[in-house]
Amino acid sequence: MAARVGQRDKVMARRDPDFEYDDPLNEPGRWKRWLIRLAVLLVLLVGLYFVGTSGYVLRQVVLPWMTRDWQGSLHAGSIEWSPFSRLHATDVELRDADGEPVFTAREIEARYSLLSLWRNRWLIPKVRLVSPELHVVRDASGQTTWDRIWGESRRRPWISRPIEELQVGLIQIENGAWSYQRELAGGERTRMALRNFDLTLVNLGDGRESTWKLAARFGMEKLGGGPDAPDSAGRFVLSARSEGALALSSKRVPTSLKGSLELTTEQATGAYATMEGLTGRWLVDLAEKEIRQCLLEFRRGGDSLGRLTLQGPIDTANRNLRVRLKLDRLRHEILNLAGSPFGLGFGESELDADVLVDVSGGGQTINVSSTLAGRRLSLRTPAGATPEVGLESRIDGRAQLDEKTADIRSFRLSLKEGDRDLLQIRAPRAINLLWNPLVRPSVNESSLEIRLDGLDLARWRPLLGPRSPSGRLYLEAALTNRDDGRRIRGWITNRIEELAFTAGPYTLTNAALRLTTQVAFRDFLSFSVDQTEIELAADGAPLLTGEGSGSYELGNDQLRLLWDFRGELPPLLTRFPHPLIEASGGTWKLDGNAQLQAGANMVAATLVLDQFTGRIDRYHFIDDWLQFDASIDWTPELISVRQIALSLGRGTGRGGSVYLSGRASPRGDGAFELSLVNLGPASLRPLLEAHLGPWRLGAGHLDGQGRLQLGVSGARELELHLQTRGLALSNAWNRRTHFPLDLTADLGASYKAGSLLIYSNIISLPATPRAPNTLILTGAVQTVAGQPGHLRLFSSALDLSAVASYYRTNTAPTAAGVPTTTAPSLTITNPPIWTRLTNYSLVTDLDVRRLLFDRIDTANWRGRTLWTNGLLVCQDLSVDFRPKGNLRLRGQWPLLATNAPVRVEAAARALPIDPIASTLLGYGRGRFVGDLSANLTYAATSPLDATGSCELVMTNLDFRTLPDWTRAILNAPASILGADPILRSPAQSVHARLQLQGPELQLDPLEFVGDWFSLRLSGPIHRGATWREASFDLPVALTIRRDQLRIPGAANLPAAALPDHLQLPPFVSVRGTLADWETVVDRAKLGPLVTETSSASAGSSVQSAPGIPDAPAAPDLRSGDADTPTPSTPFPSESDDTPGIP
């Protein structure tokens, strides 16, 4: 704004000479303010310079900032820094995270020119280090000290540019040291150290000749691995002196090098004792285009321990050379010294070599001729030593890089173990190679032969590894070269005898492996394996046979595989057992193919188990076949399941299948479809048998479809439809097949954020005229612990009369009908999923408006159950019976909770007996008519400390015949007393009261009252191993109406509590178990009431009364003995009184 005003004033002045204005540039004091500001800025820059270069700031701020990403720390005693020319630091120390020193130096000094370095010209007058020490440790896992310092921090890239000019006046190291420690797996440690290291390098630079002088002491120390290796420790110390001169050209290429190095042994003990007196020297004389002399020699006393010479013309500028390398009798002492830091030894090995390398034509033509000979070669590691072998090798070859051709004129390699040829590799004729596609190949054919004869793998474990198998390896191979290497084929036969190895928990011994294959290389771009056959046997029994092939294309990085393996299951699982699978018969087959390529992959495989008899986990199979098919494609963006199928069947019959297909992405979204097709008894029997107890699937099929949708946010949506056709069960105890049943089930659910929402779950039975037969489950289940879920089970009407047919039978179980074999015990490593629901809560509301079960007609099934912390609580369940009656139930069951007791309370009021007896127990309609009322309480933490009570009353009775258990008690007394009519007496009432206290059930009393008699039982019942084996001996109090007792002396009997009834003496009792009891009559207690004739006609005084006399067998859905009292309940024997359900 001021500038614009000033400009306006100047314009006005030019227009009007009398106009006056003030020029801001001529304002008094303005230049002073600018000078003050510039002075302040200079002061700040100077202050910043002195602060930034102060030793305190460098030590306390700069060094910690430099090492902020390290797992260590860098310290210095003092730092003097002139940014443009000099750095000097004392007591520099770098430590790792454990505080161990990695690098230390008493003094570091460097003089330089910052401006030259900035222009990439390294002009460094002096670099000096005083007492630098570097310590490096490498542990058995391969991690070094530097790895521990860097940790997981991001390594900053090192940006470098070509150095335009290099001039270093002086590099000086005084009293330097370096140590390297390697820790081996067996506890052995090797340490190398360089001490008293003094180096002076003067005048190093472009176009200059520099000189050096070096003096140092080098040592190696080996610490033993324990009592198993007492001779492995030792120490070896050398002194070294060297001096020489090096000249560099202006392009930084060496033009001359002349120097020497002298080595003298100062100490050699323990494992290095043989090195006592060792001396060595290195002489080098290198001109610009010739290696005049390069000699490395070791001696001990007057003996040579090895000599290496390198000599010949060399033109690095034109890339031409003719160099001869010769190695004369390199002894094992030098090899052991070189291998010592790595825990390797070479026994008594000796090596000789002669190599001639001729490079001409600017590096385009290379000729190599070499011979290598070894005597008593052996490798020693902490795991042991390999056998001693002799080595002979010769190779003579040439390569024309510009023409892309090569030929191996001769090649031979042999290893001998003693006098036996162990390995032979030879080329009978020259091998030509051509990789120039523009040149037509020749028609010459060559070959390479390989033979390995009886390699003992166990003796070569120090080289192959401690976990390598043992056995003898025989190998024969022949490679044929055609079209100058464009077509190479090979035939390989490999066998291993006396094979033994350990893989994980499995150990295989006395095995034999045979492998034959053909290999081919084509145009240097593809490799294939064809007609591969493999056989594996143990103790003469075949375990595996198979074929396979494969190929690899270098051009598109594509790998293809094809395989087909097969074998017998019992011998395979005997050698490789698994706790979840057993087999006593059957075969297996695995075939498939794969194609792996960057960006697109495919695998398809089929596993077939045929005539399989055994088990998988808890599922048992008998002469079944299983087939598992899988075909999957995947790319970095998508996984596509073409098909995953599981098929099951028995014998030669066709079984059902389960199919899964779909897709998914790494983001988490996807969709899958499921299909169940024709799953019948042959398919489902092995899977369901473990869960159905004595029941077996006899007929029918299961079909279904499903869909699963996956969302990126973790949401899941499931739709499932299941349908059964003609489903029928058979009972293994009575060998009866029951009424077939059809049903459908539709499930719709979604899952998100720990909440499972069931929005549609409908189970439908075939509709009847009385009910639509649909059951609906809706609600939400929370899978996050501590959040309750809520489900609602609803049905307007259910007619389960067809289901009642499952429980109808007219044949009592016999000993012959009960299976005598039991399934083998299983060790289930993965517990059922419901056992993991301890910390979840779920409320379930039941609302069934009407439920019909044959002749049982009920309504208003209402109740609520609560599942929390492994405890199932039924808060209140009520059921109304038609035309009258009501049942109420409450209680708790600790299914997973360990400390909570079982509690049950039940109350029944006026339940109709006739429909219950005819539907559930199989009696004829109208045989037992009346009302039943009862109260029940039960509490227990274990079956032996249970307590409870039960009171049962039957009134308004109209029985066409007496119950069988009543007739079994009355048969003998009625015959003795001549009162047979009482067996046809109408019933009036039944009253029972029971008290449970631990293992004792007190009957107090059980009273049955008829029109012409009454009987009363009371006393204890003692629990056995189960309540079926509970024992008792109970007296029977019997009264008979006066007009039904026609015996002498009846007038002398006392009157009973019932009107017109007489009380008989206690001459009758029942004893035995609840499963098998009998009636006992003591005639002596009758005294003069009976005559001899009547006594003789009485027959036996003991009448057996089985626990379930000629009664229909009710199915035991618990598949075992009950832990709750089950009194003996005789059923009718008249099969014609049990009509079928229409």
DSSP string, 995-1023: EEETTEEEEEEEEEEESSEEEEEEEEEE-
**CA 811 – CA 815 distance, rounded (Å):** 12
At residue 311 the predicted structure's pLDDT band, cuts being 50, 70 and 90, is: very high
Q: Does 1071 map to a domain? A: yes
pLDDT of residue 1025: 84
Same domain, 543 and 615: no
Are residues 880 and 978 part of one domain?
Answer: no
pLDDT at position 1035: 93
Nearest to 618 by CA among 828, 820, 819, 822: 828
Do residues 1085 and 1116 both lie within one domain?
Answer: yes
Between 474 and 13, where is the model more confident? 474
Among the listed ranges 182-196, 274-288, 827-841, which one has the minimum average pLDDT value? 827-841
pLDDT at 387: 92
**pTM summary value:** 0.66
Q: What is the mean pLDDT of the chain?
A: 81
Provide the pLDDT for residue 139: 75
**Spatial separation of the C-alpha atoms in residues 769 and 688, rounded to whole Å:** 32
With a cut of 50, say whether residue 1117 has pLDDT above it. Answer: no
Q: Do 449 and 421 contact (CB within 8 A), yes or no? A: no
**3-state SS class at 838:** coil
Q: What are phi and psi of 1073, to 5 degrees?
A: -120, 165
Residues 855 and 926 occupy one common structural domain: no
The model's confidence at residue 1128, banded by pLDDT at 50, 70 and 90, is: very low
pLDDT of residue 841: 84
What is the C-alpha to C-alpha distance for residues 235 and 272, in angstroms, rounded to an integer? Answer: 6
Q: Looking at mean pLDDT, say which of 828-842, 1019-1033, 1036-1050 comes out highest.
A: 1019-1033
Give the SS3 label for residue 274: helix
The pLDDT-based confidence of 729 (bands split at 50, 70, 90) is confident
**2 C-beta neighbours (distance < 10 Å), count:** 7
Measured distance CA(87)–CA(110) in Å, rounded: 5
Show which of 555, 582, 597 is a domain's final residue.
555
67-81, 284-298, 760-774, 793-807: which range is least confident on average?
67-81
Structure-block tokens of residue 325:
């390398």
**Separation between Cα atoms, residue 1071 and residue 1035, nearest integer Å:** 9
Q: Are 705 and 676 spatial neighbours (Cβ–Cβ below 8 Å)?
A: yes
Q: Mean pLDDT lowest for which of 399-413, 459-473, 821-835, 841-855?
A: 821-835
Instruction: Determine the pLDDT at residue 863.
Output: 94
The answer to whether residues 878 and 941 belong to one domain is: no
**Residue 1118 — very low, low, confident or very high, per pLDDT cuts 50/70/90?**
very low
Residue bearing the bigger pLDDT, 857 or 206: 857
Ranges 441-445, 873-877, 972-976: which has the least confidence: 441-445
The answer, yes or no, to whether residue 816 has pLDDT greater than 60, is no
pLDDT-derived band at 160 (thresholds 50, 70, 90) equals low
In a domain, 855, yes or no: yes
Q: Residue 1026 falls within a domain, yes or no?
A: yes
Q: Are residues 710 and 575 in the same domain?
A: no
Highest mean pLDDT among 176-190, 855-869, 892-906: 855-869
Instruction: Report which of 482, 445, 475 is spatially closest to residue 457, judged by C-alpha positions.
Output: 475
Indicate the residue among 900, 928, 951 that finishes a domain: 900
Same domain as 939, residue 890: no
1113 pLDDT higher than 60? no
Give pLDDT, residue 736: 63
CA–CA separation, 12 and 34 (whole Å): 29
C-alpha 715/C-alpha 750 separation (Å) is: 7
| Residues 588-601, mean pLDDT to the nearest whole number | 91
The whole-number pLDDT of residue 898 equals: 66
Residue 1094: is its pLDDT beyond 60? no
What pLDDT, on the 0 to 100 scale, is given for residue 837?
59
Of residues 48 and 998, the one with the higher pLDDT is: 998
Closest of 839, 857, 841 to residue 849, by C-alpha: 857
Average pLDDT over residues 1051-1076: 87
Question: pLDDT at residue 566 above 60?
Answer: yes
Same domain, 877 and 940: no
Residues 980 and 1096 grouped into a single domain: yes
Q: Quick one: average pLDDT of 781-806?
A: 82
Per cent of the chain over pLDDT 70 is: 82
Res. 45 pLDDT band, cuts 50 70 90 = low
Please give the DSSP secondary-structure letter assigned to residue 349.
-
- CA nearest neighbour of 823 among 623, 621, 685, 578: 621
Q: Among 50-64, 421-435, 647-661, 943-957, which stretch is predicted with the lowest mean pLDDT?
A: 50-64
Contacts of residue 417, Cβ cutoff 8 Å, sequence gap at least 6: 387, 388, 389
Confidence label for 1115 from pLDDT (cuts 50, 70 and 90)? very low
What's the maximum distance between 2 C-alpha atoms anywhere in the chain? 174
Pick the more confident residue, 569 or 99: 569
pLDDT by residue (tens digit) across 1095-1106?
Answer: 433 333 444 443
Are 751 and 879 found together in one domain?
yes
The pLDDT confidence band at residue 1137, using thresholds 50, 70 and 90, is very low
* Residues 884 and 929 occupy one common structural domain: no
284 has pLDDT over 70: yes
In this structure, is residue 940 part of a structural domain?
Answer: yes
pLDDT higher than 80, residue 730:
no
Q: Looking at per-residue confidence, does 144 or 657 come out higher? A: 657
Query: 662, 688, 714 — which closes off a domain?
Result: 688
254 close to 210: Cβ distance less than 8 angstroms: no
644 and 527 in a common domain: no
pLDDT at 1105: 40
pLDDT at 198 over 70: yes
The C-alpha atoms of residue 786 and residue 869 are separated, in whole angstroms, by 9
Would you say residue 297 lies in a domain?
Answer: no
Tokens 């859905």 -> residue: 1117
Summarize pLDDT for 438-475 with one digit per residue, the tens: 777 765 778 889 999 999 999 998 888 888 899 999 99
- Tell whether 499 is covered by a domain: yes
Q: Is residue 303 domain-resident?
A: no
Query: Please, are residues 96 and 145 in contact by the beta-carbon 8 Å criterion?
Result: yes
Q: Identify which of 994, 873, 874 has the alpha carbon closest to the alpha carbon of residue 934.
A: 994
Residue 1092 lies in a domain: yes
Give residue-wise pLDDT tens across range 486-506: 788 889 999 999 999 888 888
Side chain identity at 720, as an amino acid letter?
Answer: L
Q: How confident is the model at residue 598 (pLDDT cuts 50, 70, 90)?
A: confident
Those residues whose C-beta lies under 8 Å from the C-beta of residue 1022, and which sit 6 or more positions away, are 999, 1000, 1030, 1031, 1032
Q: Supply the pLDDT for residue 675.
A: 94
Range of the domain at 1053: 918-1137
Which pLDDT score is estimated for 81?
77
Res 199: pLDDT? 93
Count of the separate structural domains present in the chain:
4
pLDDT of 89 higher than 60: yes
Beta-strand ranges (E) seen in 336-445 are 350-360, 365-377, 380-381, 384-385, 389-400, 405-417, 420-426, 431-434
Place 960 in a pLDDT band, splitting at 50, 70 and 90: confident
